[in-house]
Amino acid sequence: MNHEASRSLYDRALSVMPGGVNSAVRAAPQPYPVFVERGEGGHVVDADGNRYVDWICGLGPLLLGHDTPEEVAAAVQSRAAEGPMYGMPSEIEVEHAEFVSRHVPSVEMIRFVNSGTEATVSACRLARAVTGRDKVLVMQGGYHGAQESTLVEGDAEDASPSSAGIPQSFAEHTVPVPFNNVEAVETAFEKHGDDIACVLVEPVQANMGIVYPVEGYHDALRDLCDEYGSLLIFDEVITGFRVGGLGCAQSEFGVEPDITTFGKIIGGGFPVGAIGGKTEYIEQFTPTGEVFQAGTFSGHPVTMAAGLETLKYCAEHDVYEHVNGLAERLREGLSEIVADRAPGYTVVGSDSFFKLVFTRADGPPQGGPCRNGCRQDPGCERYGECPKRGTDLDRAETERYARLFRPEMRERGILLSQNQFESNFVSYGHTEADVEETLEAYKHAL
Ligand SMILES: Cc1ncc(COP(=O)(O)O)c(C=O)c1O
């Protein structure tokens, strides 16, 4: 494949943008990223005219793929043509809020913002205001955007900022515990319970592998939050409208959080975030409450149209059947390939996202072949070996993925997640042929 145009664009970009990109992970691909010219269905075409099956899918927002169906495209275009935004309320915001509150069990009211980061920042501020407490309990290996309260590393007794520029005093209000370990949360609550404003958790850890919760994990979080008077916040920026369909992951796991943060799919491919929950909490935002929250672009009409029409389209078509079916076929196919070529690796994912984790076991794999996406099933022969928390990926073969495997897949016309930690996403634009082509490439590249 010729990558001359991407190479030259990257060269120019390095002079005017840090690392040549506008979001750090985009610079991860070796030796340099492809620059995309356009998307088509489940594919993208790069600046050199190379066509790829695209499993990055915008990092999650593009549930329908790159070609938006006619009704979605028409709604977006007509909103854009009517003047892109007003800084005053418009009907489409009301319609979108009504749709979300009809479908997501815990959401009675919603505030739209412009990114997942903005949503989690506002959700933490809200929880602190409602409870009058400062601490936020998070999961190690979780990701909640580029925000001061959650960019931490360490453990419950010794947290420090994971980025330069964040004062140590911020990390002192954050309590990181290992995911899928109820005891660790109990211990943290015993010690800090009176100070914990909220537990902030991705229902499925999706930014460091895809790690499913063990049975009853979210129920336990719910109970502990109730016992100690803390709020439970589900960060559904990735899982929202992907895991559990229109009801989101909370409907899949049957647990109602107090507050939910959204992003990605809820904006249909345009910049978005949202904080939803019970009226008594969401009404604490200004102007009804005292928790300051505002944004010039919040509830942007074009974003609202894209998001609402995307979700309406999902409600009326076989979108979830299609994407979940293709992802299942991918996970099954990967399990077969891995059993043959890399039996120590783990196939993870559910619904319409998937990943092969380059796990590194201490010895030869115990148990039989990896199943179709790890569900933390204690009955599975590999239960003892599978990743239980995102941080287990620290031990994965990340260099092999980055330097050997991913570039080889790219040369075979398949774009996978930009590093070993992120997920791959299936869209309505993908086809069975894309799946088979991808599995064939895995066979050669592994
Ligand atoms: C679970 C989760 N929360 C929050 C965010 C931040 O969202 P954004 O990148 O829109 O700020 C992300 C981004 O990937 C995410 O995966």
- For the chain, the domains span 4-67+319-445, 70-316
Is 127 in contact with 135 (CB distance < 8 Å)? no
The residue from 52, 54, 258, 264 that is catalytic is 264
| 8 A C-beta contact, residue 54 and residue 435 | no
Ligand 1 atom closest to 236 (CA): 1
Q: Classify residue 306 by its DSSP letter.
A: H
| Residue 202 alpha carbon, nearest atom of ligand 1 | 1
Check pLDDT > 80 for residue 51.
Answer: yes
pTM for this entry? 0.97
Say if residue 367's pLDDT is above 90: no
Tokens linked to 78: 């007509």
- How much distance in Å is there from the Cα of 268 to the middle of ligand 1? 15
390 lines ligand 1 (CB under 6 A): no
- 264 catalytic residue (yes or no): yes
Asked if residue 423 has its Cβ within 6 Å of ligand 1, the reply is: no
Average pLDDT, the chain: 95
For ligand 1, atom 14: residue with the closest CA = 145
| Digit-coded pLDDT (tens) for 280-292 | 999 999 999 999 9
Q: Is 242 in the pocket of ligand 1 (CB under 6 A)?
A: no
Q: How confident is the model at residue 426 (pLDDT cuts 50, 70, 90)?
A: very high
* 83-99: average pLDDT: 97
238 lines ligand 1 (CB under 6 A): yes
Q: Can you tell me which atom of ligand 1 is nearest the CA of 145?
A: 6
Structure tokens at 147: 């925000």
Does the CB atom of residue 115 touch ligand 1 within 6 A? yes
Q: Active-site residue among 10, 143, 320, 401?
A: 143
Task: Decide which of 3.10.129.10, 3.40.640.10, 3.40.50.620, 3.30.70.3290 is the CATH code for 70-316.
Answer: 3.40.640.10
Q: Are 33 and 10 in contact (CB under 8 A)?
A: yes
| List 46, 235, 258, 351, catalytic entry | 235
Cβ contacts of 38 within 8 Å, gap of 6 or more? 44, 45, 66
* Domain covering 4-67+319-445 in this structure, CATH number: 3.90.1150.10
The torsion angles phi and psi of 267, rounded to 5 degrees, stand at -110, 10
Ligand 1 pocket member 145 (CB < 6 A): yes
Both tokens of 410, joined, read 């790219």
Q: Is 117 in the pocket of ligand 1 (CB under 6 A)?
A: yes
- For residue 366, pLDDT over 80 is answered with no
Is the pLDDT higher at 373 or at 6?
6
**Confidence bin at 361 (pLDDT 50/70/90):** low
| Ligand 1 atom having least distance to the Cα of 117 | 11
pLDDT at 121 over 80: yes
* 355 counts as catalytic: no
What CA–CA distance (Å, rounded) separates 375 from 394? Answer: 20
